[in-house]
Amino acid sequence: MVIARTITAALVLLMPAHAGAGDGAAEILRRLDPQTPGALERASRALAALGPSAMGELFALVSPAAVGPQDELLARSFRLQPKSELHAFLSGFTSVALRPERLKPALLVLREAGSGHELARCLELAGPDVEALQAELVAALTAICARDPAACDRALALACKAQAGEAESLVRGLAEAHSGPAALALARLAEERPQLSNMALSSLLAEAERLPRPLDVDLQGALRDQLAREDHPAAQQLLLLAGRLEDDESVPLLIKRLGGARTEQRENALWSLRRITGLGLGPDASAWSDWFEDELRWWRERAPAVMQLLRAAEAAGQRLALGELGQRYWRRQQVSDELAEYLAQAPSAGARMACGVLARLGRESAIPALQARLEDADREVRESARTALASLTGKKIPSRAVALAGASSGAVPR
């Protein structure tokens, strides 16, 4: 059955375009006005509506360069086809069946419509010398991994066995997917195939800032486990990843490396510690140790009471709590989340302080809570929120919005 489908698909690809369906597709493309809102979406559906039998003709219309918006539109229409027919059609995408000038269009279609099952097909199309088609290959792998979480596990399995060039493409594809499952796959790849660990983790490092937050707990755990190994071949990258991902729980490990014997690891550990905490302490491990012990003690002994004070109705207690929370340099995200929640219902005095502390903590997740206080009745609260927002976003927030809010106490133009 599979062989029959493959042969059918191959024949469809090799045969010249069928006059009727091809004319229909061409007409749709001719009448397309990309400037009209929703036109691309409608055109894509119209192309898909031509039916599975038109896939060959649609594929034939994709130009060899496979770069224009029309080509992307054609490729995207494949996504709307019934899955079984689509898979059958895509199974005909082999380097043997396709002419060399059709490889790029094939990768484009796989990019737009492929699933995890087509990962190996992408690699096969690119061939042994992946460099010629690397950009298209990586784009296809990226899109598939971003779209289909299960594809990330398949990519991991493939990368564990792939040759150097293919492995590199898979790693880049996973890294540029900017998804939690893809990042986890990279972390696991670093563990399972040590020769690729440097590449996998440095690619992950390059894209770390673009990973969706909050981070996957499994990902952080996997990276931390590897960070604990001093002899890890990619120890440098792991140390920097802890900082880029702002993993609070890796601080003890980083402090240990800071006091270690390896100079290059000490510098990376210091960079990450400064990044996670915002503290500007020097390379002295004992200074960091002392600071961390203080923090641990606080979280263990004072944190519950302080959180209770924050949530209580008493203003003096809230002020005390805010003062103590403002002294924290560890677990800044957690503190920021608590304060953002508090800010939503805080009285004016507490809100002013909370805005200042949130600005100091520097977490962008606090932005919505601060934006909400831009409309506060109290002018000083509005000012504090505006200053905090400017600090977090790096942009000047016009005070005119504040003045308007005071005048109308209605909706604020932003």
Q: Does 409 bind other proteins (CB under 8 A)?
A: no
Q: Does 264 bind other proteins (CB under 8 A)?
A: yes
Q: Does 36 bind other proteins (CB under 8 A)?
A: no
* Distances from the Cα of 322 to the Cα of 1, 75, 217, 266, 357, angstroms: 69, 55, 28, 34, 8
Q: Does 250 bind other proteins (CB under 8 A)?
A: no
- Least separation in angstroms between residue 359's CB and other proteins is 8
Q: Would you say 41 or 380 has its CB closer to other proteins?
A: 380
Binding mask 203-222 for other proteins (x = CB under 8 A): x-xx--x-------------
Among the listed ranges 41-49, 135-143, 336-344, 348-356, the one in contact with other proteins (CB under 8 A) is 348-356
Q: Does 233 bind other proteins (CB under 8 A)?
A: yes
Chain-centroid distance of CA 352 in Å reads 33
Q: Which of 3, 19, 30, 263 binds other proteins (CB under 8 A)?
A: 263
Q: Does 390 bind other proteins (CB under 8 A)?
A: no
Q: Does 227 bind other proteins (CB under 8 A)?
A: no
SS3 328: coil
Q: Does 279 bind other proteins (CB under 8 A)?
A: yes
Q: Does 246 bind other proteins (CB under 8 A)?
A: no
CA–CA separation, 299 vs 163, rounded Å? 48
Sign of the dihedral through C-alpha 212, 216, 219, 221? positive
Q: Which of 39, 40, 157, 281 binds other proteins (CB under 8 A)?
A: 281
Q: Would you say 27 or 131 has its CB closer to other proteins?
A: 131
Among the listed ranges 74-82, 267-275, 302-310, 331-339, the one in contact with other proteins (CB under 8 A) is 267-275
Closest listed residue to residue 327, CA positions, set 369, 355, 294: 294
Query: In terms of C-beta distances under 8 Å and separation of at least 24 residues, what long-range contacts does 392-401 make, across chains too?
Result: 392/358, 392/359, 392/362, 392/363, 392/364, 392/366, 392/367, 393/364, 393/367, 401/374
DSSP states of 210-261: GS-SSPPHHHHHHHHHHHT-TT-TTHHHHHHHHHHTT-GGGHHHHHHHHTSS
Considering only residues 311-330, where is the footprint of other proteins by CB under 8 A? 315, 319, 323, 326-327
Closest listed residue to residue 34, CA positions, set 79, 67, 68, 80: 68
Closest listed residue to residue 103, CA positions, set 77, 136, 147: 136
Angle between helices 303-311 and 285-301 (to 10 degrees): 50
Any idea of the CA torsion for 368, 369, 371, 373, to the nearest 10 degrees?
Answer: 170
Q: Would you say 43 or 253 has its CB closer to other proteins?
A: 253
Q: Would you say 49 or 279 has its CB closer to other proteins?
A: 279
Query: Using CB under 8 A as the criterion, which residues of the chain lie in contact with other proteins when the complex forms?
Result: 163-165, 167-168, 195-196, 198-199, 202-203, 205-206, 209, 233-237, 240, 262-265, 267-268, 270-271, 279-284, 287, 315, 319, 323, 326-327, 349-350, 352-353, 356-357, 360, 380
